Amino acid sequence: MASQPERIVLTYEDYLQLPTDRNRYEIFEGELQVSAAPNIAHQTAVTNLGAILGNHLRSHRLGQVLVAPTDVVLSEVTVVQPDILFVSAERRKIIQAAYVGGAPDLVIEVLSPSTALADRHAKQQIYARYGVPYYWRFDPERREAVGLALDAEGTYRSTAFAEGDAEFSAAPFGDLVIPPSEIWD
């Protein structure tokens, strides 16, 4: 009977040795994940959302917004790169020189063909497991936005949804209203 090969568990140190090419690398619980460079619709939405959030955070002195590629080290074997992340001013000590060490207050993923499945399932589960309180997902193809909040049982619950021309607003920034024309175009 043939034996199963031993599972190799990658760590953050292994991650630092990966090539610097056009691929996006992440480690989900020790397993390497590789995705292609995002498309233009994805990058447009990330750029626009990053600017909207950045302006809001600066004007209210709420914390810091960072856009990919920014390493978020959730554990020695889980390193992710959310498209956008927010760390509150009270928790800014988790921002290190090379990475964010711990769960951000909010992560935002903009779906693209190469990442949609992982963003909706694997990454959502990882964010919940490591206690990210808020998770927003934007889908440029469907022009949809979903706001999720972590409940007491450690599961995300939908708290906001917008599609088409509807404006989007969700915790932790209930006073921020995002017009769809400022996201997609």
Confidence of residue 92 (pLDDT cuts 50, 70, 90): very high
pLDDT in tens, 139-168: 999 999 999 999 999 999 999 999 999 999
pLDDT value of position 86: 98
Count of beta carbons in the 10 Å neighbourhood of residue 45: 25
Q: Does residue 128 have a pLDDT over 90?
A: yes
Are 103 and 129 spatial neighbours (Cβ–Cβ below 8 Å)?
no
pLDDT in tens, 8-25: 899 999 999 998 887 889
> What letter would DSSP give residue 23?
S
Helical spans, DSSP H, in the chain: 12-15, 40-60, 116-120, 122-129, 181-184
Residue where the block lists tokens 């049982």 = 153
Confidence of residue 113 (pLDDT cuts 50, 70, 90): confident
d(CA 152, CA 169): 22
| Mean pLDDT (whole number) for 32-59 | 93
pLDDT value of position 182: 93
pLDDT value of position 7: 79
pLDDT value of position 4: 73
d(CA 37, CA 124): 20
d(CA 169, CA 61): 19
Count of beta carbons in the 10 Å neighbourhood of residue 16: 11
Q: Does residue 62 have a pLDDT over 90?
A: yes
Please state whether beta strands 106-110 and 134-139 pair in parallel, antiparallel, or not at all (unpaired). parallel
Confidence of residue 1 (pLDDT cuts 50, 70, 90): low
Q: What angle do CA 34, 35, 40 make, to 5 degrees?
A: 160
| Mean pLDDT (whole number) for 104-130 | 94
Q: Which CATH architecture has domain 38-184?
A: Alpha-Beta Complex (3.90)
Please give the mean pLDDT across all residues of the chain. Answer: 94
Q: Does residue 3 have a pLDDT over 90?
A: no
pLDDT value of position 2: 66
The CA-to-CA distance between both ends of the chain, in Å, stands at: 58
